[in-house]
Chains A and B, each alone.
Chain A
Amino acid sequence: MNILVSPLAVSAPVGSTTILLTPDMRFLELEQVGAEIWELLSAGALVDEIAHELTARYEVSFEVATDDVSRFIGYLAEEGVVTVSG
Chain B
Amino acid sequence: MRPNFYLGVGAQKSGTTWLHAYLSQFPNFDFGLMKDYHVWDALYVPDCRSFRITDAEQLVWTDSSGRVNPSTAAFLRYNMQRQAGAYEHYFCTLAKDGVDSTGDLTPDYACLDASVLGQVRSSLEGVGFDVRVVFVMRDPVQRCLSAARMYKRLGWASGSDADVLQSYYRTRTFSTRTDYAATLTTIDEVFAPDEVHCAIYEELFTPSGLEGLSEFCGVENNEDWLATRVNAATVTEAIPERLRAQVADHYADVYAFCQERFPQTHSLWLA
By a beta-carbon cutoff of 8 Å, the part of chain A in contact with chain B is 6-10, 12-15, 19, 21, 23, 25, 27
A-B contact pairs, 19 of them (CB 8 A): A7-B79, A7-B83, A7-B89, A10-B78, A10-B79, A10-B82, A12-B59, A12-B75, A12-B78, A13-B56, A19-B59, A19-B70, A19-B75, A21-B72, A21-B75, A21-B79, A23-B93, A25-B33, A27-B75
Bits for B18-60, please: 1 = Cβ < 8 Å to A, else 0: 0000000000000001000000000000000000000010011
Q: Which residues of B contact A13 (CB under 8 A)?
A: 56
Task: Among A7, A12, A21, A23, point to the contact of B85 (Cβ < 8 A).
Answer: A7
Task: Among A8, A12, A23, A27, point to the contact of B56 (Cβ < 8 A).
Answer: A12
- Are A14 and B60 interface neighbours, CB within 8 A? yes
Q: Which residues of B contact A12 (CB under 8 A)?
A: 56, 59, 70, 75, 78
Q: Which residues of B contact A27 (CB under 8 A)?
A: 70, 72, 75
Is B225 an interface position by the 8 A CB rule? Answer: no
Contacting residues of chain B (61-94) with chain A, CB-CB under 8 angstroms:
68, 70, 72, 75-76, 78-79, 82-86, 89-90, 93
- Are A8 and B68 interface neighbours, CB within 8 A? no
What's the tally of chain B residues with a CB closer than 8 Å to chain A? 19
Q: Which residues of A contact B75 (CB under 8 A)?
A: 10, 12, 19, 21, 27
Chain B residue with minimal CB distance to A29? Answer: B70
Chain A residue with minimal CB distance to B33? Answer: A25
Q: How far is the CB of B74 from chain A (nearest CB, A)?
A: 9
- Are B59 and A8 interface neighbours, CB within 8 A? no
Q: How far is the CB of B90 from chain A (nearest CB, A)?
A: 6
